[in-house]
Structure 1
Amino acid sequence: MVLVAAAAIRGASAQGRPDSENGRYVLSAVVDGVVIRLDTSSGAVSTCADKGSGWACYAVPDERAALDTEIGRLQKENGSLRAQLAARGPDVAGKTEEALPKQDALKPKPDVERKLEIPLPSDRDIDRVMSFVENAWRKLVDLAGRLQRDADGKI
């Protein structure tokens, strides 16, 4: 009878969390009963949760593997492009090993006189601005009047 009770307690505690299988897995509780499981032999990471009928673990996508794959693809492409460039031969026109001199486009040239010309607004532009300001002022005065009447209780 005591053995049956011990087996039942052991089974209940085994259902509490995923088995750590002799130190192969490292478990870390996260939130809402979710556990992160690290496989120390392969480095794989999984999320484990109790689905009601038992624990289920799902592998976390390994971004490092995707990055390594992309790096490998780029290295292969780079090697291919270098081989194509080498096949063209050393007689590529315009190629030099020296760095090009930097040119400052904003730096004024000494032989050119600099003039700063700002175009003035036309009469039409000034009339449009004045019309806008007048309309804005009328609306502001109207709003102030309504607020004053509302404060006095006349609305």
Structure 2
Amino acid sequence: MRPLKSSTASWLPAIAFAVAITASGGLKAGQTTPDGENGRYSMTPIPEGVLRLDTRTGTVSTCSRNGTGWACYAVPDERTAFDAEIGRLQNEVEKLKGQLAAGPTVSGKIDEALPKSDPLKKAEPKVAEGERRIEIPLPSDQDVDRVMSFLEKAWRRLIDMANRVQKDVSGKI
């Protein structure tokens, strides 16, 4: 490799600069003037007709041939629908915040908090006053229902098993 001459080395940055300016200018020209290349609208065939894209506004329309000629209808923009729904929800939130700030409107509300208790936690056995007896708490209705449900399922399974054994035995004899 031989070193560059001083006259060649001074031209290289100027050429690189000119190429960069030309490339960036070409990109800007391509982006701002779609009319010069393909026109304002870009058409794409679809089974129902033609899909038309307005390159200036970005709106999309479907165009189809009917009895009197061609008709184009704008395709609903999802972003517009989302923005409308967001606006509606924001208005509703503001309205609800205003109602909440106005004061409590719920009737029958109590200010004291409800006691926190675990319905499945077993109560501690209590010592009766004056005597040294231990009182055992009775099971709740929920506990009794759970036990009854278990016993019913067990009984049904036992009956089913007995029926299957009877069928097997009677079938072999």
TM-score for the superposition, normalised by structure 2: 0.39
- Asked which structure has the greater RCO (Cα within 8 Å, sep 6+), the reply is 1
Greater Rg by CA? 2
TM-score for the superposition, normalised by structure 1: 0.43
